[in-house]
Amino acid sequence: MIKLLLNGLYPCPDIVAEVMMDEGGQAKSVLDLGSGSGAWCLDVAKQFPHAQVIGVNITPNSQKTHSHNCRFETWDINQGLSPFYGQFDLVHMRFVHSLVDHHTSTLKAIRCLKPGGLILFLKAGPEVTEDRTTLIPAASSRMPDQSWYQRFWAC
């Protein structure tokens, strides 16, 4: 459903492609916080075979399919992310419902980026109206600051 909603693995594919461009010899890395089933990690590992993809989740990953450039670690994001600081070109957080403090966790996720890195953050919430009566327009690639949650329910 999310692939359909985003028309792919993530929004702004041109920006992601630029950040993840194979620059010959310079390793690229991706961190997926709250990786769940691990499907997103495996898809990204396949799309960017020159990158190392790490999926982190509070429970052990039971993914049977593995890739040479993808691994999974068990980690509680609420305990901090300092072991991951400054190591990733792309950090992905999507529907991480187990976070105690979304704001603090997002700031810590940003610290996991290398200079010039990109964070992709998707949090669903009931924010589909501005004033409880006027619907916020559904998001699109031309209007990414609108409600992605609204777009999700419109599908």
pLDDT at 129: 45
Whether residue 99 has pLDDT greater than 90: no
Count of domains for the chain:
1
Query: Residue 124 — pLDDT band, cuts 50, 70, 90?
Result: low
Asked if the structure places residue 46 within a domain, the reply is: yes
Asked if the structure places residue 144 within a domain, the reply is: no
pLDDT digits (tens, 9 = 90+) for 35-86: 988 999 999 999 999 999 999 999 998 877 778 999 999 999 999 999 999 9
Give the list of residues 6+ apart from residue 128 with CB closer than 8 angstroms, or none. Answer: 135, 136, 147, 149, 150, 153
| Domain housing 65 | 2-13+29-123
Query: Residue 128 — pLDDT band, cuts 50, 70, 90?
Result: very low
Give the list of residues 6+ apart from residue 45 with CB closer than 8 angstroms, or none. Answer: 30, 51, 53, 67, 69, 70
Query: Residue 102 — pLDDT band, cuts 50, 70, 90?
Result: confident
- Residue 55: CATH number of its domain: 3.40.50.150
Asked if the structure places residue 145 within a domain, the reply is: no
The Cα–Cα gap between 1 and 101 comes to 26
Higher pLDDT, 54 or 103: 54
Asked if the structure places residue 116 within a domain, the reply is: yes
Query: Residue 154 — pLDDT band, cuts 50, 70, 90?
Result: very low
Give the list of residues 6+ apart from residue 111 with CB closer than 8 angstroms, or none. Answer: 81, 85, 86
Percent of the chain with pLDDT over 90: 47
Asked if the structure places residue 146 within a domain, the reply is: no
